[in-house]
Structure 1
Amino acid sequence: MDIILVLFGLLFIFLGLIGSFLPVLPGPPLSWIGLLLLHLTKAVPSDPWFLGITFVIAIAVFVLDYLIPIAGTKRFGGSKAGMLGTTLGLIVAIVFPILGFFGIIIWPFVGALIGELINKADEKTAMKAAFGSFIGFLTGTFLKFMVAAIYAGFFFYTLVGNASALFSFDWW
């Protein structure tokens, strides 16, 4: 059973890394599930504090991933209409992943641009706010990838440290 938990944990770690870039997969929470599965094995001692802290971080990064593009729009001079446009663009990208990976980049940018233009901002201000949305997206993606990569490191460090207990077979 431990081998199955480790294999599924490994699958979730890889899905978490991929999910850092794909909008349809929540990267850090998936990586956390991989850590949880590893800690459910008999060979790895369960650490509720470690699992609790990493869970809170995974959820915080998941939430921040949606808030950072909005903050980027605001930071670069966007109005409430631009922030609303960014939010609507993110929702469009998630609900209608027509353009795949590029949709999560394009739609918040387009949403912020349209929101600013509707707000009667000049084209320069609208482009600046849309650029802020793009920078926010890149920041969120980088943050998700870093957390997923750190969780992968924890996974492999724990796996290697407990390999003898995990992969010992009692043939008696």
Structure 2
Amino acid sequence: MDYLYWIIIILLFVVAFVGLIYPIIPSVVFLLAGFVLYGVFYSFEPFNLLFWSVQALFVILLFGADYIANIIGVKKYGGSKAGVWGSTIGLLIGPFIIPVIGIIIGPFAGAFLAELIINRRKIKEAAKIGFGSVIGFISSVVTKAVIQIVMVVYFFVTI
């Protein structure tokens, strides 16, 4: 039965990392579910206040990294709130319209179209902002991947 328990826990962690590419998947929920299921299957004893406090801090960092990287990416290249919203919407929709490459095209197209339509930017300027949204997304994914790896490593060190 141990193998089945570990397969479930590891699958939850894997799905959390898939959530880096498909933002519609709530990575944090799957990571925390893995921790809780370990407690249910084995024991909550290793999970003291320090463990949950550290994990809560990482959860806050995950949300912050996502939000801040997107804003910085769009704003650094001259984008507005419309560009940030467009990028976010494109990020959520893109992978479902064009699997795999939609994760890059979605934020670009969202920011590009938002700046073009709402703020009436020139095509070249809107494209630059769209590029910034892609840079923001990629930096967000890298940052969140590092944080999630640290969370999982801390989990294994704790148990």
TM tier relative to shorter chain = 0.7 to 0.9
Once the two structures are TM-superposed, the CA of residue 78 in structure 1 deviates from its matched residue by 0.9
Percent identity at matched positions?
34
Q: How has the CA–CA distance of structure 1 residues 115 and 43 changed in structure 2, closer, same or farther, with 3 Å as cutoff? A: closer
Alignment pair present for 1:70 and 2:82: no
Unaligned runs of 5+ in 2: none
Give the TM-score of the pair, scaled to structure 1. 0.73
Q: How has the CA–CA distance of structure 1 residues 54 and 98 changed in structure 2, closer, same or farther, with 3 Å as cutoff? A: same
| 1:63-87: CA deviation from partner (whole Å, max 9, x where unpaired) | 6425532331112101233223223
Structure with higher Rg: it is 1
* Aligned residues: CA RMSD: 2.7
Give the TM-score of the pair, scaled to structure 2. 0.78
2:104 corresponds in structure 1 to: 105
Alignment pair present for 1:54 and 2:24: no
In the alignment, is the contact (CA less than 8 A) between 1:89 and 1:111 conserved in 2?
yes
| 1:90-111: CA deviation from partner (whole Å, max 9, x where unpaired) | 34337xx122232232112101
1:164 corresponds in structure 2 to: none
Q: For 1:61-140, what aligned pairs fall within 5 Å after superposition?
A: 61-62=62-63, 64-66=65-67, 68-93=69-94, 97-118=96-117, 119-140=119-140
Larger relative contact order, structure 1 or 2 (CA cutoff 8 Å, min sep 6): 1
SS of the residue 1:100 aligns to: coil
Q: How has the CA–CA distance of structure 1 residues 82 and 42 changed in structure 2, closer, same or farther, with 3 Å as cutoff? A: closer
SS of the residue 1:114 aligns to: helix
Unaligned runs of 5+ in 1: 160-172
In the alignment, residue 13 of structure 2 is paired with which amino acid? I
In the alignment, is the contact (CA less than 8 A) between 1:108 and 1:133 conserved in 2?
yes
Q: For 1:30-41, what aligned pairs fall within 5 Å after superposition?
A: 30-40=30-40, 41=42
